[in-house]
Amino acid sequence: MQPPIYRARKIDSNEYIEGYYEFISGQHILHDDKHIRHYSVSEIDESTLSIHLDETTDINGKKIFASLSENGKGGDIVSDGDMRWYLMFSKRDGCFKGREINDFNLKLNLDYWNFKTVSKIGIKQ
C-alpha cells in the first residue's frame, strides 16, 4: 500500500494542490517528495485538507479525495448519474462516508462501495 496523498487549497490562492502532508513549525504544508530531500513546499488551508487512499479512483480513473473535515469541505463531489454526494473520511470508523447533497446521510464503506460506478464532478467548497 502506498502512503496516502493529500489535497488542499493553497493558503495564498484558490488553487488546489496534491502532495504529502506535514505539520511543521505551526504550518500545515504539502510537499511533493515523500523522501523530503529536494521538494517544493506550499502552505495550505487546513480546513480544505482531503485524503486519497491507494487505488481509490472514479469510473474515469480520476483520483477520489475525501475531506478530513466534518463539514466535507475540500472533499470530492461524486455522482452516479442520479444522486450526488460529497465525501468525507471518518477517522473513527476508518472508512469513507458520503452525504447526499440533499442532506440525506449515507455511510459508504470502502469495502462495500465501488467507486468505479461514480464520476468525480467537483470539490465541495
Please write the tens of the pLDDT for every residue from 4-61.
899 999 998 899 999 988 888 888 888 876 555 545 778 899 999 999 987 788 999 9
Tell me what the mean pLDDT of segment 57-85 comes to.
Answer: 90
CA 99/CA 41 separation, integer angstroms: 32
Whether the predicted pLDDT of 123 surpasses 70 = yes
- In the chain, what are the domain boundaries? 5-48, 52-123
Cell numbers at residue 93, please? Answer: 470508523
Given pLDDT bands bounded at 50, 70 and 90, which one contains residue 107? low
Angle at CA of residue 17, ends 13 and 22, nearest 5°? 105
Helix, strand, coil percentages for the chain (3-state, nearest 5): 5, 45, 50
CA 60/CA 37 separation, integer angstroms: 33
